[in-house]
Amino acid sequence: MKYLISIAYDGSKFYGFQRLKGHNTIQGKIEEALSIIAKEQVEIKGSGRTDRGVHASDAKASFDLNINIDKEHLKIALNSLLSPYIYITDVTIVDNDFHPRFNVLKKEYIYKINLGSYNPLIYDYIFEPNYKLNIAKMKECAKIFIGVHNFKNFTSGKRNNYECIIYNIEFNENNNILEIKFIGKSFYRYMIRNLVGAMLDVSNNKASLEDIKDALNKPNIRRQFKTAIPNGLYLNKITYEEES
């Protein structure tokens, strides 16, 4: 039977999502727990990879199990083995041809910035700049990113295709915490951190709005902007075309 799990985790405690020999990773821990439950080696397929230090409220992964276990008992068994820094929030049964990455309709990421006084207790969970932000400029920069673009200048590593769509970028401020929500079909490695970094460069007058437009319109001319730290980034929600 094929299962889909929803996963919340504290990324500060792991070396990223992807299984990596000799390192503590989300995928590694979940596979280890599932293998104990199933009494055989189990591998999972994730909805994507988050980097070291990036958190998640709603990551997804699928896997096949050859044992007879209902959804609720599987959730309980997994959480008894994964706590305290990983928690399975939901378990569903999906069709055999379901793929947690290819079936994605929409992804939401949130980047959190502390606009108040520096607080060492939240450092692992939020970006704390030591300068004042020009949020109006950041919003103008964000508007440029919305739509279909070639994001080569905002992506780490080589790909065959750098084009993707961002449906919306929303800014919300509450109790001195600024949350920037990115809603799109898919996002590439370091892409959101680079987009936030570009907004910060515009805020600090280290880059202009024209520089941002040129970076999108002329992807083969290399432009370098700030890369925001991973601490403030959260995979917030994944929506599928079809969920069983």
Which residues does the annotation mark as catalytic? 51
Tokens of 222: 């290399």
Tokens of 185: 């079909």
How many other CB atoms are there within 10 angstroms of residue 120's CB atom? 7
Residues in contact with 78: Cβ distance below 8 Å, sequence separation at least 6, in sequence order = 5, 30, 33, 34, 37, 88, 91
**Beta strand pairing call for 233-240 and 55-64:** parallel
Distance, CA of 146 to CA of 135 (rounded, Å): 17
| DSSP-assigned letters across all residues of 183-212 | EES---TTHHHHHHHHHHHHHTTSS-HHHH
